[in-house]
Amino acid sequence: MNEIMILSIHFVTLGISLAIPIGPVKLEMIKHGLYGGFWPSWLVGIGAVCADILFMSFIFLGLSPFLHERWITVCMLITGIMMLSYLGISSIRNSVTSLPLIEENKKDVKKPFWTGFVIALMNPYNFMFWFGVYGGSLQSIPTATSELLKIGLSFCIIVGIILWNLNVAFTVHFFRTLINDFTIRWLARLAGIGLLAFSSFLTYKLFTLFL
């Protein structure tokens, strides 16, 4: 029992470690949080978590070799580049308009969810984690452990990710109440630039595949 408790804490910590770095999903959470508060930011995180669960399911179904095919990687990179470029440009463009940003993303709750889902699904680093680090972490589970318990321990990673995403959504929500519209616009602009930077990096990775 003690060993299972230690493993549970290990996997929760692993999930938090995965969620902490500032990547495309976190930038999009921050942007939506600045625009619309807690719920839009949280929905981006929930969308990303659903993509993580999908990756985890692929591993348990034994689809890892298929998803490592070259053409799958190319498709993921191209989709990721297009998505991040669109989001980055949109964020910068919206930050310089005279319209109030505070109401954006309250119109359609599905938009932030699917944005988070697609970004996480097409993020090569997310892909590398689930099929690399996570695959290796499964080896730390005793071989005698039942499949059901392995799934439960795996979901501890999801719990860690959710906990950190909650932290980000709450932090951005309360932070936005302390700053003015001018600051929100500049932070949204910086988030857009960050998304374009990630898009440029994915473009570089795509070119290296063909060299």
- Residue 17 domain-assigned? no
pLDDT single digits (tens) 83-99: 889 888 988 887 777 54
Q: What is the pLDDT of residue 104?
A: 47
Task: Give the structural domain span for 153.
Answer: 22-209
pLDDT single digits (tens) 40-78: 999 999 999 999 999 888 877 776 666 667 787 788 788
Number of domain units in the chain: 1
The single-letter code of the amino acid at 166 is: L
Q: What is the pLDDT of residue 105?
A: 43
- Three-state SS annotation for the chain: CHHHHHHHHHHHHHHHHHHCCCCHHHHHHHHHHHHHCHHHHHHHHHHHHHHHHHHHHHHHCCCHHHHCCHHHHHHHHHHHHHHHHHHHHHHHHHHCCCCCHHHCCCCCCHHHHHHHHHHHHCCHHHHHHHHHHHHHHHCCCCCCCCHHHHHHHHHHHHHHHHHHHHHHHHHHHHHHCCCCHHHHHHHHHHHHHHHHHHHHHHHHHHHHHCC
- Residue 35 domain-assigned? yes
- Residue 11 domain-assigned? no
Q: Has residue 145 got a pLDDT over 70? A: no
pLDDT single digits (tens) 17-46: 888 888 899 999 998 888 888 999 999 999
- Residue 13 domain-assigned? no
- Residue 12 domain-assigned? no
pLDDT single digits (tens) 108-123: 567 899 999 999 988 7
Q: Please give the radius of gyration of the chain, using alpha carbons only, rounded to the nearest integer.
A: 18
CB 72 within 8 A of CB 108: no
Q: What is the pLDDT of residue 45?
A: 94
- Residue 141 domain-assigned? yes
- Residue 121 domain-assigned? yes
pLDDT single digits (tens) 146-173: 777 878 888 998 999 999 999 999 999 8
pTM for the whole structure: 0.81
- Residue 73 domain-assigned? yes
